[in-house]
Structure 1
Amino acid sequence: MPIEIVDHTRFDLQHEPPTAARPITMSGRDLKAAAVLAPHVHSWGQFTYALRGVMRADANHSSWIVPWQRAIWIPAGVVHSVTVLENTHLRPMRVYAGRAPFAGNECKILELSPLLRELLTALEQHERDAAPQREHLLMEMILDEIPRCAVRPVRVPLPADKRLKALCDALIAEPGAGLTLAGWAGQVGASERTLARLFERELGMGFTQWRQQVRLAHAAPLIARGMPLSQVAAELGYASQAAFSAMFKKTFGCSPTSFFGLQQ
């Protein structure tokens, strides 16, 4: 699938930035699978969610998979890029830096609460010139509700070393690949011992743990599309649905069915 580089600067210039008086501005855009927004930075914070589709966001030496029922918070001043994994209808919401719902420069994946969904819909449908006090109240309620949403720890740290990055990029592209660390060593031109040392030094975890993080991150969009858990497990390289569910529960403290609110 050919990659399409999308010019974000033109899009930003076409839309009003947030201000202290109007701390939130919203817009929408459709992006096709394989579209890429090259690394860029904003003077405002960005709360981005999708009405449909799946995207990958890279920032702060980490990668996040963001399916449609999640949102990502990217603080002002943080360089980030976006890769569209499935045709996506994005809702980037710009937040005035002085009204950021979270302190610091850490990105977060959030689960949209039912209330936040309704508030975002109401703000999107609000006519700019009609009842400005209502628009102000909606913005204040949104900024109050965002930090109350559940944070989902699906973060995949990324390395700087070129050899390790080649391995990590390949596994992110194909998380079900069954190669051992020794097998990857032959692919990327580094010994197994060197790669093991790099994983611990640059990513703070071993190869197996990092691969599990990647697989769990990729599970979200697959499950969101309605793929049966047995098929998700097979596609991500697990021996069985039970093995996948056990690893999921170990990481998130609950089963995939509970996490995603699926019907048993």
Structure 2
Amino acid sequence: MPSRSEPARHAPSPPAASHSVGPLTPHLYMPDAVRPLRAKEHFLSGDTQVELHAHPWPQLTFSTRGVIRLSTADGTWIVPPSRALWVPADVPHSINLIEDAELRTVYLHRWLGPEWTRCEVLEISPLLRALLLALDTTPDGRPPADAQAAQRERWIAPLLVNELERATQIRIDVPLPQDKRLRMLCEAMLRNPADRATLAERAATIGASERTVARLFRNHMGMSWQQWRQQAVLAHALPLLARGMAVSQVAAASGYTTDSAFCAMFKQATGKSPTAFQPRRQRAAPRQ
């Protein structure tokens, strides 16, 4: 829904990821019947993009530190440390590091795990987190750090899958259009959510009129530009709040010139104030 805030127009777009890397050697962590779960970890800087790739097994992606953005042809998902993202087998995906992050990925054998056909954002329970972090992360070609890694993976697998199926699913995805012109417009917005350029100004960058772009959004996305932009802003703001960033800072990073306008939009969209999504200790701080 359209915001009542004053637009801070023509905010400069941040540069694209300055460091692009390949798919982080998934072939060295291939799950099989002997080792149905394979885990890997990488420490990556905030200017890194993991290039588009796919593999014939599903994965669970999360970070123990830092926020990541995973994108497919159908949408993009913002994943803070409190959540994990399920990616089905054979789905091409890329990853952008929003900030320095410890990226963890767990591959599952194709016959293992939920039969979800689309990406799903999941809350990580304490048990699920413990199970994920208990997996050995040594690649093939080197002896596992834990001599009993394969046996432990087979023991952990059924409980981990059960926790996945019980996990709360959270819809904070941002759909992306197939139309190339709309895709360019949407990607520009995702790269810089604080840019409050008007739809007419954005349409001009792809050589179209405001009316044409508005019609394309309705036809291709089933929603208006304002609705899509709000969804993108929420997906950007939620991880920042979960990390404990002050509401005023989140509002500014989301392109709002006043906290009140941001809070009004946020509450209307989610039914809760932004502070409800901050860590409990921080929410209690003002009363101390």
TM over 0.5: yes
Q: CA deviation at 1:139?
A: 2.0
Instruction: Give the distance between the partners of 2:161 and 2:82, measured in 1 at CA.
Output: 19
Q: CA deviation at 1:234?
A: 2.4
Structure in which a larger fraction of residues adopt helix: 1
Q: C-alpha distance in 2, partners of 1:71/1:154?
A: 12
Matches within 5 A, 1:122-201: 122-124=134-136, 128-130=146-148, 134-201=152-219
Match 2:131 to one of 96, 119, 130? 119
Shift in Å, 1:159:
1.7
> Which digits, 9 at most, give the CA deviation of each residue in 1:22-60, with x for residues without a partner?
321111111222222221111110101101112111114
Q: 1:162 Cα deviation (Å)?
A: 2.7
Q: Distance in 2 between matches of 1:140 and 1:160?
A: 37
Q: Give the stretch that moved more between structures: 195-204 or 183-192.
A: 183-192
* Residues 188-230 of structure 1, C-alpha deviations (whole Å, 9 max, x = no match): 2101110001111122210111110111111133224422012
The equivalent of 1:5 in structure 2 is: 20
Q: CA deviation at 1:256?
A: 3.1
Q: 1:64 aligns with which of 53, 58, 77?
A: 77
Residue 64 of structure 2, aligned match among 37, 51, 65: 51
> Tell me, which stretches of 5 or more residues in structure 2 are unaligned?
1-14, 138-143, 284-288
- The percentage of counterpart residues that share the same residue type is 43
Correspondences of 1:219-258 after superposition (within 5 Å)? 219-258=237-276
In structure 1, the gaps of 5 or more residues are none
Q: Quick check: 170-179 or 131-140, which moved more?
A: 131-140
> How far is the alpha carbon of 1:240 from its aligned partner?
3.5
Runs of 4 or more consecutive aligned structure 1 residues displaced over 6 Å after TM superposition: none
Per chain length, whose mean CA-contact separation is higher, i.e. which structure has more relative contact order (CA < 8 Å, sep 6+)? 2
Letter in 2 for 1:18: P
Q: CA deviation at 1:134?
A: 4.7
Aligned to 1:16: 29
- Cα RMSD (Å) of the superposition? 2.3
When residues 131 and 77 of structure 1 are mapped into structure 2, their CA distance, relative to the original with a 3 A threshold, is closer
Contact conserved, 1:20 with 1:98, CA < 8 A, in 2? no
TM-score, normalised via structure 1 length: 0.89
Displacement after TM superposition at 1:145 (Å):
0.2
Q: Does the 8 Å CA contact 2:136/2:146 hold for their aligned counterparts?
A: no
Partner of 2:236: 218
Aligned residues: 261
Alpha-carbon distance in 1 for matches of 2:78, 2:87: 14
Deviation of 1:138 (Å) = 2.0
**Aligned pair 1:30/2:46, yes or no?**
no
Counterpart residue identity of residue 36, structure 1: Q
